[in-house]
Amino acid sequence: MDALLSRITPGQVARAAKIGALLIAFALTSGYVTDHLTIELAGVGSFFLAVLLLLAFPGQRSSELLGALAIWLTYAEFMAAIQSGHFSLWRWAVVLATLSLVIVPIKVQHLRQLARTNPYQPIRELDRRLWSAAGREAAPAPYVPAALAAISFDPDPDADRAKAGA
């Protein structure tokens, strides 16, 4: 067993996850189209599709991937409703609840990382997306020097003042 694990790379896992995600997406699509998708299969399928998508695209933000998956599953549910004439509210609710079960541990892990980095700094100041690409006019200005230091990746915001005064 150790020999097998010593030969598997994360790139191979990502490629296998892409293939698995594609297969599950086709299975879910055919279930929606034929209206044979049960609530249980929809929940299990959306869970494994979400996990495989997260493995398949490690460079993509997890909230963006899961948001796109939620939109896709909602669209599929509405298309199935147009075809069959009835909207399966419970199936749609189970699918979205399953996606929330996937994203909650991810967000908790992110919060744990922020707590390890600086446990006394407000979360708003730790957000990397504080400034938008449009400049300062589009985003609210930070109100403490620590936020500016986090954005400029300067560990000590008072270092420039100390150098200028010396």
Q: Are 66 and 114 within 8 A, CB to CB? A: no
Chain segment 39-89, per-residue pLDDT in tens: 999 999 999 999 999 999 999 999 999 999 999 999 999 999 999 888 999
Q: What is the pTM of this model?
A: 0.70
Mean pLDDT, rounded, for 121-140: 58
Q: Are 28 and 48 within 8 A, CB to CB? A: no
- Number of H helices and E strands in the chain, helices first, is 8, 0
Binned at pLDDT 50, 70 and 90, residue 124 comes out as: confident
Instruction: Please give the structure tokens belonging to residue 79.
Output: 């298309």
- Mean residue pLDDT of the chain comes to 83
- Across 35-39, 43-47, 150-154, the highest mean pLDDT is recorded for 43-47
**φ and ψ at residue 9, rounded to 5 degrees:** -110, 160
Between 45-54, 114-123, 131-140, 152-161, the lowest mean confidence (pLDDT) is in 131-140
Instruction: Please give the structure tokens belonging to residue 37.
Output: 């998708």
Q: How far apart are CA 57 and CA 66, in angstroms?
A: 11
Residue at token pair 């407000």: 122
Q: How far apart are CA 131 and CA 58, in angstroms?
A: 24
